[in-house]
Amino acid sequence: MSRTLVLAELVLAALVLGTTFAHVLELPPRIQLDPALWVELTRPDALYRWFGVIGGPLEGALVVVATVVAVRTRRRAFLASALAFAAALATWIMVVAPANAAIGAWTALPADVRWWQLRWEIGHAASFALVLAGYVVLVIGALAPPVIPCDCGSPALAPSSRRSTRDARDELDEPR
């Protein structure tokens, strides 16, 4: 069961990484756009509509699955990835969501449109950095050999009672 959850986390993380990386790739040309065009493209009901409709639930699901994996496996790498994914979502909620709300409510360009533009773009870049960090740590955790629990005292004293890596992996797949 744990391996299936780790696989689900890897897939969700890859999808979220893709959506956040797309924003970073668009940042250099978008930051140079005329403010009126930038606003029209950035309105929540315009070009980025599907990022919210699909990307938002994916990020929420990622945080939930990452937390479950961290709790079930009790491994530091999975805990670190869950924290990074949660921080990325929190960054979006605290930085980008207020900008989306403001942009969606505008009927005319405000004087501080560039400030909102920088907030929106930098918020997405920060979110990407956190998702990337979480993904890297997640992959490291997924590739690490499983922790082999041993209740035989010191492994050096009882080498014949050690279980194989394969036994430990099979044990991780069994429901608890």
Assigned domain for 58 exists: yes
Residue bearing tokens 């961290």: 70
User: How many CB atoms lie under 10 A from the CB of residue 157?
Assistant: 8
Residue 164 gets which letter from DSSP? P
- Which residues have C-beta within 8 Å of that of residue 107, sequence separation ≥ 6? none
- Which residues have C-beta within 8 Å of that of residue 115, sequence separation ≥ 6? none
Euclidean distance between the first and the last CA atom of the chain, given in angstroms as a whole number: 9
Domain that includes residue 127, residue range: 2-144
Query: For 96-129, how does the pLDDT look when each residue is reduced to its tens digit (9 = 90+)?
Result: 999 999 999 999 999 999 999 999 999 999 999 9
Residue bearing tokens 């670190």: 80
Residue 172's pLDDT band, with cuts at 50, 70 and 90, is: low
User: How many CB atoms lie under 10 A from the CB of residue 111?
Assistant: 6
Total domain count, the chain: 1
Residue bearing tokens 């979220």: 16
pTM of the shown model:
0.81
Assigned domain for 149 exists: no
Assigned domain for 19 exists: yes
Assigned domain for 62 exists: yes
Query: For 46-102, how does the pLDDT look when each residue is reduced to its tens digit (9 = 90+)?
Result: 888 888 889 889 999 999 999 999 999 999 999 999 999 999 999 999 999 999 999
The burial of 22, by beta-carbon neighbours within 10 Å (0-12 exposed, 13-18 middle, 19 or more buried), is given as middle
Assigned domain for 109 exists: yes
